[in-house]
A and B are shown apart, each in its own frame.
Chain A
Amino acid sequence: MADPVAISVNQVSKKFGHGKDAFFALEQVSVDIRENEFFTLLGPSGCGKTTLLRLIAGFEHPTTGHIQLRGEEISHLPPFKRPVNTVFQNYALFPHLTVAENIGFGLEMQDKPAAEIDSTVAEMLQLVQMESLRDRRTDQISGGQQQRVALARALAPHPRVLLLDEPLSALDYKLRKGMQIELKRMQLETGITFIFVTHDQEEALTMSDRIAVMNKGRILQIGSPTDIYDRPSHRFVADFIGDTNFLDGELIEANSEGAVVRLSSGKTVKTGPTDAAANTPVSITVRPEQAVLIEDLDAADLQGTVTNVMYSGTDSHFHIELTSKEEFVAKVQNAGPARRDWQTGQTVGIKFHSHVLQVVSD
């Protein structure tokens, strides 16, 4: 974890347009991305993740703020002077060049000797398992193969950082799963820092070392996939990644270890740490699979009536209307020890293990 910082983004804002039409695609964004890291920018479309990627690549320049590559200021360098390469969403392969010429393009532009270009191209073709198609034109190969060529082309000049702009979004499900594994393998093999942009939360969770969740031009939370999933900082983060429940409560006390919150039922529960002030109303999030349904209503943190049961093979989803009229969904593994066949209309108690609850800011 002590790897040095590869890309440092410091207080970067990006404004597009002028006057009345002006809007900020990015506002005061700061993030440090480490060497050898698989770092994902995750968010819905229009959240600014692609703008941040384009700023790092050099296709756009920040309105304010600084971007550094290994401590060296690069904010105002043109893209062709940055040791950073991009895999484009539409691949952007050169249609008038062969597969091998596409892969060698970056080295050719760096005026590398022909022998070096040849050997690197051969190495890259092997890395992406495309040796047999080296002399094909790029419109004569399939979408998945184009994807590999785009990847090889961006990796061939051995960039410090590889930027990937939703590179898997055009592939079908099976191909995408395969490429996810391969991308991860290539990142480990080459040791290059990958900055990956996606709106697919599952993709982000499975591939990343760390994730930055973005919305409306801001980074809301940066953390490992487990941090993001188990300890979301914002309502948006909890909602965007996986299914979740929100509960109203009042913060009683908080310190660096955790916090105590009074639920609508009057019961107090422990949550993860929060910055919110004591004696203020807060929102709490809890994942459907983190709630335990029990019969003993006195021991329960919340209680309610089952309104709907949805059986989906491995799990059952129980929709519960709490006494406070809030909606709650609990997910129970059918093969697990907690299985009970709760019926619609039945009153049920909900119990939380300590620290599965998280206070989220809006």
Chain B
Amino acid sequence: MANLHAAPVNKGKLFSIYKLPGFTFIAVACFLMLYAPILILVGYSFNSGSSLALWEGLSLRWYFAAWENETVQGATLLSLVIALQAALYSTVLATMAALGTTRTRPFRGQTAIYTMINQPLMVPEIVTAVALLIVFATIKQATGYQGLGFLVIAHTAFCIPFAYLPIRARLEDMDTSLETAAADLYATPWRSFRRVTLPLLWPGILAGAMLAFVISLDDVVITEFVKSAGQDTLPTYMLGQLRRVITPEMNAIASALLAVSVLLVSLIFLINRKKT
């Protein structure tokens, strides 16, 4: 057996991607393209001057400016309200969908449902945005309702696949004989879910919720189309500002958003690593 396992390892050395000419150069160039602009943006968010291209000294001036800007405050609050609700609802729905697609006997159309749940990952966002715009505009006209509900529904919808994937992965990793054992030990399906499935699924749910939160927080396209007047989230506010004057305040806000995203993604990583 040892020899059988050893063979592919030796074979792997015959073809090594690291030895292709220019590999290192291309890799470094790609990372530079990805991260250099972001690093420059973060750097300039600490600039004390009001120029976007001239470094004048280290300062938190633009962070304070953004912090005290009432429009920014409103947009941030709105972003958080929407993201929290969207994360909550989409995670609940995604958990139910994940249970439905992993904990039931195989049924006809299971693959179709799986594909449909993940569709928002594939359909161009602009298509969804236009479609939602048309539907919501009709409803707005018919009912006169202009509230946040539309944005919450839209965000919930496109967050579902992001919440679904980690939850489903976790469920598939879980040993189903644990649920069988619970049923054997007098647990009704509901109590088995509460006492066994849910506690073990918790890291997956948490990761799914955080991912949904970040995705909702970052969204521009759908929000821009669906929002009613005065419903600017942080990203759409930034987009609006960039069309007029670009101030380093934008750098500060973008850096803060980035920090939140990185923090949450790292947390997701840590949660998922802990399970093994």
With a 10 A CB-CB cut-off, give which of A59, A84, A85, A105 has the most chain B CB atoms. Answer: A105
The 0/1 profile, CB within 8 Å of B marked 1, for residues 99-113 of chain A is 000000110111000
A90 touches B175 (CB 8 A): yes
The reply to whether B199 and A96 contact each other, CB–CB distance below 8 Å, is: yes
Given the interface contacts A90-B175, A92-B177, does A80 sit within 8 Å of B183 by beta carbon?
yes
Interface residues of A in 68-95 (CB under 8 A from B): 78-81, 84-86, 88, 90, 92-95
B71 adjacent to chain A (CB < 8 Å): no
CB–CB A92/B200 < 8 A: no
Chain B 166-201 interface residues, beta-carbon cutoff 8 Å to A: 175, 177-178, 180-188, 191-192, 195-196, 199-200
Check A92/B183 contact, CB under 8 A, given A80-B188, A109-B191: no
> In the bound complex, what is the Cα–Cα distance between A182 and B199 (angstroms)?
34
**Could you tell me if B177 and A105 are in contact, using CB atoms closer than 8 angstroms?**
no
* Distance from A176 Cβ to chain B, minimum over Cβ atoms (Å): 21
Say how far A98's CB is from chain B's closest CB, in angstroms: 13
Set of chain B residues within 8 Å of A95, measured between Cβ atoms: 178, 200
Determine whether the beta carbon of B186 is less than 8 Å from that of A94. no
Give every chain B residue within 8 A of A153 (Cβ-Cβ): 185
Whether the pair B186, A157 counts as a contact (CB closer than 8 A) is: yes
C-alpha gap A59/B180 in the complex (Å): 7
CB <8 Å contact, A94 and B178: yes
Closest Cβ of chain B to A358, distance in Å, is: 40
How far apart are the CA atoms of A105 and B195 in the complex, in Å?
9
How many A residues touch the partner, as a band?
20 to 34
Does A330 have its Cβ within 8 Å of any Cβ on chain B? no
Whole-angstrom distance from the CB of B209 to the nearest CB of chain A?
19
A4 CB to nearest chain B CB (Å)? 24
Cross-chain contact A80 with B177 (CB below 8 angstroms): no
Min C-beta distance of B95 to chain A, whole Å: 17
Residue of B nearest to A79 (CB): B183
Given the complex of chains A and B, what is the CA–CA distance between A86 and B179 in angstroms? 13
Residues on the A chain within 8 Å of B187, using CB: 80, 105, 109
A149-165 residues with Cβ-Cβ distance < 8 A to B are: 153-154, 157
Give the CA-CA distance A343 to B137 in the complex, in Å: 102
Tell me how far the C-beta of B79 lies from the nearest C-beta in chain A, rounded to whole angstroms: 35
A175 to B200, CA, bound (A): 31
Q: Least Cβ distance of A79 to chain B in Å?
A: 4
A57–B199 Cα distance when bound, in Å, is 25
- Interfacial chain B residues near A78, Cβ < 8 Å: 183
Given contacts A95-B200, A109-B191, contact A85 B185 (CB under 8 A): yes
B185 contacts which of A90, A96, A105 (Cβ < 8 Å)? A105
Distance in angstroms between the alpha carbons of A92 and B175 in the assembled complex: 8
Residues of chain B with a CB closer than 8 A to A110's CB:
186
**Cα distance, A106 to B191, chains bound together (Å):** 11
Closest to B191 in A: A109
Q: Which A residues are CB-close (under 8 A) to B185?
A: 80, 85, 105-106, 109, 153-154, 157
- The answer to whether B182 and A105 have CB atoms under 8 Å apart is yes
Q: Which of B180, B186, B188, B195 contacts A92 (CB 8 A)?
A: B180
List chain B residues, Cβ under 8 A from A154.
184-185
Tell me which residues from 202 to 249 in chain A have a Cβ below 8 Å from any Cβ of chain B.
Answer: none
Residues in B whose Cβ lies below 8 Å from that of A86? 181, 184
Q: Which of B152-171 contact A (CB under 8 A)?
A: none
Cβ A106 vs Cβ B178 within 8 A: no
Within 8 A of B (CB), among A260-309: none
Extra contacts, 19 of them, besides A92-B178, A109-B191 (Cβ < 8 A), are: A58-B183, A59-B183, A79-B180, A80-B192, A84-B184, A85-B184, A85-B185, A88-B180, A90-B177, A92-B180, A92-B181, A95-B200, A96-B199, A105-B187, A106-B185, A109-B185, A109-B186, A109-B188, A154-B185
Residues on B facing A (Cβ under 8 Å): 175, 177-178, 180-188, 191-192, 195-196, 199-200
